[in-house]
Structure 1
Amino acid sequence: MENKSQDNNIMKKISTFIVDKRQGFFLLFIVAIIYCIISIPKVSINNDITTYLPANSETRLGLNVMHKEFTTFGTASVMVANISYDQAEEISKKIKEIKGVSSVDFDNSSKHFKSASALFDITFDGQEKDKVSIDAMSEIRKMLSGYDFYVSSTVGVDNAKILAKEMTSILVIAVIIILGVLLFTSKTYMEIPVLIIVFAVAAVLNMGTNYLLGTISFITNAIAIVLQLALAIDYAVVLCHRYTEEREIKEPREATIAALSKGAIEIGSSSLTAIVSLAALMFMQFRLGYDMGIVMIKAIACSLVSVLLLMPGLLMLFHKGIDKTGHRNFVPAIDFIGKLANKTRYVVPLLFIPLLITTFYLSRQTEFAFGQKDIPTIRQNETQIADQKIKETFGQPNILAVVVPSGNYEKEGELLKALSKIKHVTAVTGLGNIKVGDYVLTDKMTPRMFAELTNMDINDTRLLYAAYSLEHEEYGYLVNEFNNRSVTLYEMFMYAYQKVQEGYVTLPSDTRENLDEIHKQLVMATKQLQGKNYSRMVIKLDLPEDSKETFEYLPTVRKVVSEFYKENTFLVGESINNHDLATSFEVDDIVISVLTLLFVVFVLLFTFKSAGLPILLVTTIQGSIWINFAIQALSHNRVHFISYLIVSAIQMGATINYAIFITNRYLVAKKHMSISEAINEAVNGAFPTIMTSGSILSSTGILIGLLSSDPVISAIGSCLGRGTIISIFLVLFVLPQILLLGDIIIEKTRFTLQVDTYQKVQSGNVRLDGHIRGYVSGMINANIKGDLKGKIDAVIDSQNTSIEHIDETESTAQEEKNQDET
């Protein structure tokens, strides 16, 4: 008891300092807010999700090579519906004439014209973020404004901006809902502005300090503020409720100090479970988990700092308004839940066990997606609608890039032929099969063949070949069989064009135009397919991008490539990316599940000082997670694996607090009443807090699920919203029965040392010195020292408590002395 008293004194001293020095804290927060407002626009947002792949994954390694070696030009697939083929041809010609358009792939095959719809595959002169590509895309949209058209392209599309706009709308609606919840659960109207100010400051601090992290993902940036609001608002609510309770009997300053000293430990313990759950995300191989984990932990830390250091000053500042705007309690009493718990304490836990087993099995049947294109969302943006329309009409191409060491055109040509013969390969493109006239770029050509292709004079061509041989020190060709000298079309053409540009070769204007056109095509092909150290080939598959069948097929492609190149080869594409993610998910799923449970159990272990109680609480919330994803599995809708991992961690970390709220009150209440009465008081006492926090988190999650077009974020919202509702239900209608039935486990597994006690019934004049618990003309549970008139019926600590009878005279004299001193 002395240690506890000392702890309370320390907390009271700290709380007094915070309240008395509130002006100084106001100044510090003003400085921090100014810094963060300046920093927010400087935060670097990463739109490329592949950068979070493990550094040794095939996709990451292949992308690194491709970024260094090749140029990837911007592309667009444009479908125009309800037109004739003649109209489609005319549109194709117009698109080709637009500045910035390099090529338009369109013909009368079913790949490009089907069901009165035309599909134009467009390549731009620049990369997807280059101005020339963006301007060309804008011109295409203007030209097609009178048609029913759909554009699938990343050119000119800022997903981060689209997502930020959606989340702003969600945040506005969420704030309105939260205001409604707070109005319903608050005790005074003026406390609501205090809560809003505290959260706004916490949000600004978190967004501004993201600058210190360097770069954060667009997904984390978009969802962090909404999740912060949903997860951390109850910290402020707890302190506010504590203040209003203390204010009933104390002056504003003393009430604020008391509320802070009592609420700080409760708020800290509550936030710790959320922090450790989010910390588990940081151990993911897919580093997006680390990105979201560190930002959300920082968000909770900013919320804690704002609640513990800023809010006490605000309560003092607004105390007059808080006092004047009190209103009746709108939250109803829920005595029926406590009564139901007592009646069903032996039934519900027994029914809960088979439910846990069943939902665990069903949750493991959840179908996971590793790409985003095949996950439906309630709200869809323009690109998603276009992708779906094109997929329904023409199918969805699955494109893979094969990267191999460069320098051997013959081997590349053989590999291209081998790849084209594999099942499910519909097209193969590489330097070795790009046609120029009747030849491909890797064909070897004699002087005569080259002259016929380019319309150059045969004598000029021979001189060109001779110069080529001289520069490459191949002197033997100058003497023997010169006319049979062969050079690859690609090499000879680029050499010829260089000499024409340098003025060593003069050509007629029509031949020069022909040469320029071929050169433009070759340059485009070279930039995309030929690097300094590597060559790139592109293959199209008739398989889905994200499916088990595709993942099982990929080794077939690798085997063919390995027959020609033993090392330094890479496969890159959406299917490879999805396969890498699926591989890392197998480990991440286990790591996050185990670490989340261990971290939470560890926190609860030291919070309640009982080995059995944490197991009961975690089992309840883990059950809600299994039920949540069992429902997902039964719906036969795939969920993105990132959404699953994040929701599992957040649902455990956030909703375990609901169980803690009830358990805390239950443990306190049962000290002075029966466990049947204690559970009823605990549920009634915790219900307003659970109602406030739970309704905010669930409604915010549902909003995100309904209004976000991003498949990952939408799934996080809908699963978290549903999971929170399930957790609330289990905490209110299953946990009370588990606590009642498991009370013996709680008591038997306590860490505190039990001391010898005995029951004592005494009446008359009694002097007490020590600790007792029981009724002394009313309930008492304290360290006391003094005289008592009345009857004692209490549990006595035999080691530390003494009782002695005193006569009436001594008792009266002591009373007179006390009165004189008073």
Structure 2
Amino acid sequence: MQKLTTWMLKARYGIVAFFLAATVVCGALTMLVSVNYDMVDYLPDEAPSTIALDVMDNAYETAVPNLRVMVPDVSIPQALEYKERLAQVPGVDDILWLDDQVSLTVPLETLDQETVSDWYSDGCALFSITVAEEGQLETLEQIRQIIGDGGAISGNPMDTVNAQVTTSSEVKRMMSYIIPILFLILLLTTTSWFEPVLFMVNVGIAIVLNMGTNLIFGEISFITQTTGAILQLACSMDYAIFLLDRFEEIRKENVPPMEAMAQAVVKSASSILSSGLTTVVGFAALIAMRFKIGPDMGFVLAKGIGLSLITTLIFMPCLTMCCYRLIDKTMHRSFMPTFERTARATSRIKSFVTIMVAVLLIPCCLAQQNLSFQYGMSGMAAPGSQVANDRDAINEKFGESASFALMVPEGNSAAEKALSEEVKALPQVASVISYAETVGSSIPDQYVPPDQLKELNSGGYTRLVITARIPPESPETFAFVKTLRQTAQKYYPDSALLAGECANVYDMKETITADSVKVNAIAIGAIALILLVNFHSITLPFFLLLTIESSIFINIAVPYFTGSSMNYIGYLIISSVQLGATVDYAILFTNRYLENRAQMPRKLCPAKTIQDTAGSILTSGGILTVAGLILGLISTNGVISQLGILVARGAVLSAILVLVFLPALLTAFEPLILRTTRKLHFYQEKGAAQT
């Protein structure tokens, strides 16, 4: 490898030029990568609601009502005029209002007041609209122009468009904050004013290469688009720091720069690759999820870390050799403390912290079993945003509501009539529009207007459009979806299909809940295997994983103790991200601990190891914490914001436990570690047997 590295450094100008050219090309390719903002598309193909949507798309021209539009201060004739204007908007496939439920030729006082209040209350009219998937942004803009600022819009298209509008601007805003802050952190933790420039150029090129090569996937989710670059930056910055630290260490021995860099690459490659591999495995575990947002993020993030490893081991050495004189000219004293007092203080309280962690894990385990989760798009709008305000205004006036399309095989009028009656009798149901209800089974099809007929009977199916007084997701909602499916199953065994946002969320819940155990088991198992090979030990991987998993348990339990709900997507992702990104701290600490223990007594080793590694661990943890906080504080998307806070809190917890809890474990279980680790030799203390 020494010869290959030397040849690479001699060809440094050509390699640097190649990477810069590739970066320009990938920068252009990023414009061609499509971004998907609809979470429904990431349900498994075999999910019942996915099958129902596919059938409905093929059989019917219009989908389920997916938008609620409220217009205040209108009379009945004015509401009918608004309905006509809204129906003419391009992209509005269908619109329902009170006149589709009852006859408005009679006084409202004589009608069923519960039905009336679902559509018209205190001078406010509520329309149920079906918006096509294409051109939703333009459609919503025209609807907003018609209803004015006093009106309100709520529904899945509004959530999707909000994500579409905010994602691009928020990514730029996040980067405008994170780059200067990380640059400042690097200035304070390095000994050259120019080194941070090299680090940022190296990781920047890796990020652009990753974003451009995402074109091979065709499209990525907006969650991946928003978080991918920031997580890649935060998780891979260490690799270049490891390399340059080793380069400077070798140069202090008066080794010529070219030879010093060649040695630095050879000597640091193993630790860099081991560190990178654990992060890759943590991200790659997401690929095992049936819910496709996992593979979407897993492939992109794992590829990003892989590209970061390549740029660090090939591009970074060549770039450094092209401008190492600038590093020499801009040297400054270290601003980092020695951590000597911190190490002594930390070493003293390690037993107390160990007891505290052991005590905390029990309630944290119980808290995780009782977390309140959100699974769909309903929790993605930030409080105070127009999306959230409009939704609250509609819910306050008319209550929460959801629409479904229940499709059954056409031709059995008696079963359809009985099903429609039973569904209408459910207490949550506000209305049912079906062929049997609207037209009547006794009227032949040829006497029914074709437009009305094809909305209900098409492609061999007849459709019941159901409006229910339930929230987008809640235990009540999930119970209602289950009841609807069971009711349809009685009349149409294994042939009824249910579509709608709530059905999608229900299937999302069922899918990603089943994913959690599998994803965590794969991540923990694969990383344990890497650690087993790295340390040649049976017990050390257990102690390292116990440390990081303890920090994950505490991190995830916090929402329960603060009384807040947690998005399940963030819950799944943080388990893999925190494990893959912070297990490096435990690896670094353990490697240095074993080196120190070979040269000093057990009593002195923890403090010395903390002093040696605290700077690197806190720098890495600080970068990940800053990245997470910026995601959490700037993003208006609930899932991304919560994921950012989880990443930041997880980085802090992992760093603390590695510096306090892990040394206590290594010290307390030293005899067991000696017996279960190959070729391990510790400092011979007086009166102690040596293994």
TM-score normalised over the length of structure 1: 0.76
Superposed displacement of residue 672, structure 1: 1.8
Instruction: After TM superposition, give the deviation of residue 704 of structure 1 in Å.
Output: 1.2
Closer, same or farther in 2 for the Cα pair 1:128/1:589, shift >3 Å? Answer: closer
Assess if the C-alpha contact under 8 Å between 1:277 and 1:649 holds in 2. yes
User: Deviation of residue 678 (structure 1)?
Assistant: 2.9
What does residue 68 of structure 2 align with? 77
Report the counterpart of residue 222 of structure 1 in structure 2.
226
1:343 aligns with 2:348: yes
Match of 1:111 in 2: 118
Aligned to 2:631: 704
CA deviation profile, 1:231-265 (whole Å, cap 9, x unmatched): 11111222222223333333321222222222211
Q: Counterparts of 1:339 and 1:759 in 2: how far apart (Å)?
A: 21
Change (3 A) 1:633 1:114: same
Residues of 2 paired with 1:93 and 1:136: CA distance?
18
Question: Which of 271, 282, 286 in structure 2 is aligned with 1:277?
Answer: 282
In structure 2, relative to structure 1, the CA distance for the partners of 1:336 and 1:262 (3 Å cut) is same
- SS of the aligned residue for 1:282 comes to helix
Name structure 2 gaps, 5 residues minimum: 100-107, 109-115
Distance 1:138 1:368, change over 3 A: closer
Q: Which amino acid aligns with 1:121?
A: F
Q: CA deviation at 1:94?
A: 4.6
Aligned equivalent of 1:685: 612
Give the equivalent residue in structure 1 for 2:477.
Answer: 550
For 2:599 and 2:50, how far apart are their aligned partners in 1?
62
Q: Structure 1's 122 and 417: CA in aligned 2 closer, same or farther, altered over 3 A?
A: closer
Q: Is the 8 A contact 1:92 1:106 kept in 2?
A: no
- The structure in which a higher percent of residues are strand is 1
When residues 342 and 587 of structure 1 are mapped into structure 2, their CA distance, relative to the original with a 3 A threshold, is: same
Unpaired stretches in structure 1, ≥5 consecutive residues = 1-9, 435-440, 445-486, 495-521, 761-794, 798-822
Check 1:411–1:62 CA distance in 2 against 1; reply closer, same or farther (3 A cut).
Answer: same
Match of 1:176 among 171, 175, 180: 180
Work out whether residues 13 and 322 of structure 2, in 8 Å CA contact, stay in contact via their aligned partners in 1.
Answer: no
1:622 CA drift (Å): 0.5
Does structure 2 retain, via aligned residues, the 8 Å contact 1:378–1:707? no
- Which residue number corresponds to residue 93 of structure 1? 81
Equivalent of 2:465, from 519, 535, 538?
538
Could you say which residue in structure 2 is the equivalent of 1:264?
269
Q: In structure 1, how many angstroms separate the alpha carbons of the residues matched to 2:140 and 2:17?
A: 50
Q: CA deviation at 1:656?
A: 1.0
- Cα deviation digits, residues 557-588 of structure 1 (max 9, x gap): 23332332223211122332222222223321
1:332 matched to 2:337? The reply is: yes
What's the CA shift for 1:226? 1.3
Deviations 1:75-122 (A, max 9, x none): 6423345x4x44x85365255246436656258733244466x24315
Structure 2 matches for 1:376-391, cutoff 5 A?
378=382, 381-391=385-395
Is contact 1:679-1:736 (8 Å) kept?
yes
Match of 2:25 in 1: 35
Q: Which of 1 and 2 has greater Rg? A: 1
Tell me by how many angstroms 1:134 deviates: 6.1
Q: CA deviation at 1:710?
A: 2.1
| Contact 2:380-2:637 within 8 A present in 1 as well | no
Is 2:176 the partner of 1:165? no
Q: Distance in 2 between matches of 1:286 and 1:277?
A: 17
Q: Secondary structure at the match of 2:288?
A: coil
Q: 2:648 matched to 1:645? A: no
Contact persistence 2:29–2:212 (CA under 8 A)? yes
Aligned to 1:768: none
Q: Which amino acid aligns with 2:422?
A: A
Cα gap change, 1:378 to 1:557, in 2 (>3 Å):
closer
Separation in 2, partners of 1:175, 1:293: 24
Q: Which residue of 2 aligns with 1:471?
A: none
Using the aligned pairs only, state the percent identity: 30
Aligned to 2:237: 233
Q: Is the CA contact 2:71–2:151 (under 8 Å) kept in the aligned structure 1?
A: yes
Cα distance in 2, alignment partners of residues 743 and 353 from structure 1: 19
Is the counterpart of residue 200 in structure 1 residue 204 in structure 2? yes
> Would you say the 8 A contact 1:669–1:682 is kept in 2?
yes
Post-superposition Cα deviations, 1:189-213, rounded to whole Å, max 9, x if no partner, equal 1111111111111011101111112
- The 1:135–1:183 alpha-carbon spacing in structure 2 relative to 1, beyond 3 Å, is closer
Say yes or no: does 1:141 pair with 2:131.
Answer: no
Distance in 2 between the 1:728 and 1:115 partners?
57
Are 2:64 and 1:61 equivalent residues in the alignment? Answer: no
The RMSD of aligned alpha carbons is 2.9
Q: Is the 8 A contact 1:359 1:630 kept in 2?
A: yes
Number of the residue aligned with 2:447: 492
With over 3 angstroms needed to count, the CA separation of the structure-2 counterparts of 1:230 and 1:345, relative to structure 1, is: closer
Maintained 8 Å contact 1:348/1:734: yes
- Structure 2 counterparts to residues 350-499 of structure 1, below 5 A: 350-373=355-378, 375=379, 378=382, 381-434=385-438, 441-444=439-442, 487-488=443-444, 490-494=445-449
- Which position in structure 2 is the counterpart of 1:483? none
Q: What is the Cα deviation at residue 610 of structure 1?
A: 1.6
How much does 1:381 deviate? Answer: 4.3
Deviation (angstroms), 1:20: 1.9
Structure 1's 654 and 135: CA in aligned 2 closer, same or farther, altered over 3 A?
Answer: closer
CA contact (8 A) 1:341 1:736 kept: no
Cα distance in structure 2, aligned partners of 1:758 and 1:358: 41
Tell me the amino acid that sits aligned with residue 615 of structure 1: F
CA distance in structure 1 between the partners assigned to 2:285 and 2:573 by the alignment = 10
Post-superposition offset of 1:291: 1.5
Provide the C-alpha distance between the structure 2 equivalents of 1:213 and 1:69, rounded to a whole number of angstroms.
29
SS of the counterpart of 2:342? Answer: helix
Note closer, same or farther for the CA distance 1:136–1:739 as it changes in structure 2 (3 Å cut). Answer: closer
User: Is the Cα–Cα contact under 8 Å of residues 593 and 605 in structure 2 kept in the other structure?
Assistant: yes
Distance in 1 (alpha carbons) for counterparts of 2:454 and 2:561: 48
> Would you say the 8 A contact 1:379–1:706 is kept in 2?
no
SS of corresponding position for 1:734: helix
**1:600-749 superposed matches below 5 A:** 600-749=527-676
Structure 2 residue matching 1:709: 3-state secondary structure:
coil
Kept in 2, the 8 Å contact 1:604–1:614? The answer is: yes
CA contact (8 A) 1:47 1:160 kept: yes
Question: How far apart in 2 are the matches of 1:544 and 1:142?
Answer: 27
Q: Distance in 2 between matches of 1:158 and 1:611?
A: 50
Instruction: Please tell me whether the aligned partners of residues 104 and 120 of structure 1 are also in contact (alpha carbons under 8 angstroms).
Output: no
Look up the equivalent residue of 1:141 and give its one-letter code. R
Aligned counterparts of 2:235 and 2:180: Cα–Cα separation in 1? 16
Query: 1:19 is matched by which residue type in structure 2?
Result: L
Residues 743 and 338 (structure 1), Cα distance of their counterparts in 2 relative to 1, 3 Å cut: farther
Q: CA-to-partner distance for each residue in 1:747-772, whole Å, 9 max, x for gaps?
A: 221122889x9999xxxxxxxxxxxx
Who is 2:126 aligned against?
Answer: 120
Question: Which fold has the larger relative contact order, with Cα–Cα distance below 8 Å and residues 6 or more apart in sequence?
Answer: 2
Alignment of 1:744-759 (within 5 A): 744-752=671-679
What corresponds to 2:103 in structure 1?
A: none
CA distance in structure 1 between the aligned counterparts of 2:337 and 2:499, rounded to whole angstroms? 59
Alignment match, 1:570: 497
Q: Take 2:359 and 2:432, find their aligned partners in 1: how far apart are those partners?
A: 54
- 1:645 and 1:544 mapped to 2: Cα distance? 24
- Which residue, 152, 170, 176 being the options, matches 1:150? 152
Partner in structure 1 of residue 303 of structure 2: 298
Closer/same/farther in 2, CA of residues 417 and 208 from structure 1, 3 Å limit: same
Structure 1 CA distance, aligned partners of 2:186 and 2:522? 34
C-alpha distance in structure 2 between counterparts of 1:712 and 1:575, whole Å: 18
Q: Secondary structure at the match of 2:491?
A: coil
Deviation at 1:696, TM superposition (A): 1.3
What is the alpha-carbon distance in structure 2 between the residues aligned to residue 729 and residue 40 of structure 1? Answer: 38
With over 3 angstroms needed to count, the CA separation of the structure-2 counterparts of 1:759 and 1:198, relative to structure 1, is: closer
**1:427 aligned counterpart, secondary structure:** strand
